[in-house]
Chains A and B, each alone.
Chain A
């Protein structure tokens, strides 16, 4: 049997989902010696030692078995306490908290719990690439909303209203946002709640970057009483506690929803890695001081990055969360792709083209400041040189 016929068996919506368009940057940068990557979407810090140490200790003690499907009850209790302490959200650790394999799994199973063929899921863009991909894999149709720089990439109620049809099952909201660094304030959500509260639409709220906020406090849409029962709050340890490689996150929502999500988790995953679960317990018990230290450091770099990009002649709205800046490069006359490719080839600095996060990201690029200040300083020098050259030719 030829491979062609095997391919014909593969589901259409998988074949039709484009692979991430950044492969060429990998290949280019791997050949370079002194390139600086601002394309990494993860902390440069190592997981704090107290957390790593608990993971190691659990292995030494031979804790190498499955946990319950939802995760160790001790961890779920810590998560429930954390959600209340940090965000004023109360969940019952017994049946309203699910420990997942990173926030990514939670996003996937939340989408699949609500959406399938014939359904629609609203996906504001630019946003984390997995949202649209997971919606497509589910067989549902992603309905995108174009977030605007002039709105500071916040989601507006009228945009949501325009996107809603009778087939809408869920909307995905992701703030603090990857790739823009945008945040939503209480008033922004209040306006959104007006549109959503009386509609039967689930809200999947990806709050992975909730700890990384540089002005004010993180707001969750679940804090609105009329929204809590239909909101799935997704959070995790990757960004806040620098635990990306551990693959551990969680979802919190009403038991009515969670018990259904748990079925997918149970059959597809069984349970999250237990070493990571033990480490996560320690993160919530004793890791918050380290989080604060990292946030302080990110903030200093953030300010230098925004200032440097502006001085280099790029329009850059001030990101108040996550660890990304999303400058507007349209003044250079280059497309996002050409900008990034030339910047890498000519100055050996890697940024990610904004259109990798949705077509409306065209004209922007994403740069992370989760890298050393020395790297940032050198990258800014090179970017400034590049922008000047491009604008003068």
Chain B
């Protein structure tokens, strides 16, 4: 499979990973076994990292909070930020952890059932890490849009059923 076809495959999967191998094959002009092989290869190479569903827990009436935490750290000689990042991202509560440019260093997304649970995690686990100088926690109050999906509304087709 050409690189161009793989790129198209990734672009399709990015928005919808529930298409069958057959459908994907038709879309990119390949065969189902070839698509399956390419996806396995992209998996193994770490290009495709996961096939996740994007869930609006609020609609499911489930307690759920997300916080974004700005973390300032002292980089360590020879290891930069990687070592401290590693100590942070291993916690299962941490959903995302990125090194940032600008006024702070690591941007950490933490999920929990309640604000208290998240705040305690920050106080007890994140802040005490040796090279962490400071943390600043921002709770998500309302999710408007995530992964290109608008959470604020459920799209429905309100077109006329027949238009010539």
Contact = CB atoms under 8 A, between A and B. Distances in A.
Contacts of B160: 40
B26 A356 contact: no
Contacts of B157: 44, 371
Given A300-B12, A303-B26, A304-B23, A352 B162 contact: yes
B140 interface: no
B164 A41 contact: yes
A152 B162 CA distance: 25
B59 interface: no
A30 B162 CA distance: 11
Interface residues of A, number: 29
Contacts of B16: 373
The prevalent SS among residues of B at the interface is: loop
A26 B162 contact: yes
A242 B83 CA distance: 49
Interface string A12-45: 0000000010100110011000010101111010
B159 interface: yes
Contacts of A338: none
A40 B161 CA distance: 6
A29 B159 CA distance: 13
- Which of A35, A37, A296: most chain B Cβ within 10 A? A37
Interface string B26-47: 1101000000000000000000
A288 to B, nearest CB: 18
Q: Chain B interface: which size bin?
A: 10 to 19
A300 B12 CA distance: 9
Contact of A304 (B26, B161, B164): B26
Interface in B90-136: none
B19 interface: yes
A386 interface: no
A129 interface: yes
A300 B161 contact: no
B163 interface: yes
A307 B32 CA distance: 13
B162 A350 contact: yes
A317 interface: no
Contacts of B29: 303
Interface string A350-376: 101000110000000000000101000
B159 A40 contact: yes
Interface of A: 20, 22, 25-26, 29-30, 35, 37, 39-42, 44, 128-129, 178-179, 296, 300, 303-304, 307, 350, 352, 356-357, 371, 373, 377
16 contacts: A25-B161, A26-B161, A29-B161, A30-B161, A37-B162, A39-B163, A40-B159, A40-B160, A128-B164, A178-B164, A300-B12, A304-B23, A350-B162, A356-B164, A371-B157, A377-B23
Interface of B: 11-12, 16, 19, 23, 26-27, 29, 157, 159-164
Given A128-B164, A179-B164, A357-B164, 20 more contacts: A26-B162, A29-B162, A39-B162, A40-B159, A40-B162, A40-B163, A41-B164, A42-B163, A44-B157, A44-B159, A178-B164, A300-B27, A303-B26, A304-B27, A307-B26, A352-B162, A371-B157, A373-B16, A373-B19, A377-B23
